Amino acid sequence: MEDKKITCKDCGKEFIFTVGEQEFYKEKGFENDPVRCPDCRRSRKAQKMNRDR
């Protein structure tokens, strides 16, 4: 396994999906690679949490 370069589907910025992150995803049973960069994932999660209140 090696680091992957992925383009965020929200902001278009490239980010690195590290081997460590890939192993974490595999352990959790996630089958798909992330499509959003960490910043956009955090932003989206915060929006969801505010909506669920």
DSSP string, 6-43: EE-TTT--EEEE-HHHHHHHHHHT--S--SS-HHHHHH
Please tell me the predicted confidence (pLDDT) of residue 52.
78
Cβ of 37: how many Cβ atoms within 10 Å? 21
Q: Give the chain's domain count.
A: 1
| Residues of the chain above pLDDT 90, percent | 87
Residues of the domain holding 40? 4-52
Q: 47 with 10: CB under 8 angstroms?
A: no
Q: What is the DSSP letter of 18?
A: -
Q: Tens digits of per-residue pLDDT, 11-36?
A: 999 999 999 999 999 999 999 999 99
Question: Which letter, b or e, does each residue of 11-25 get, where b requires 16 or more Cβ atoms within 10 Å of its Cβ?
Answer: eeeebebeeeebeee
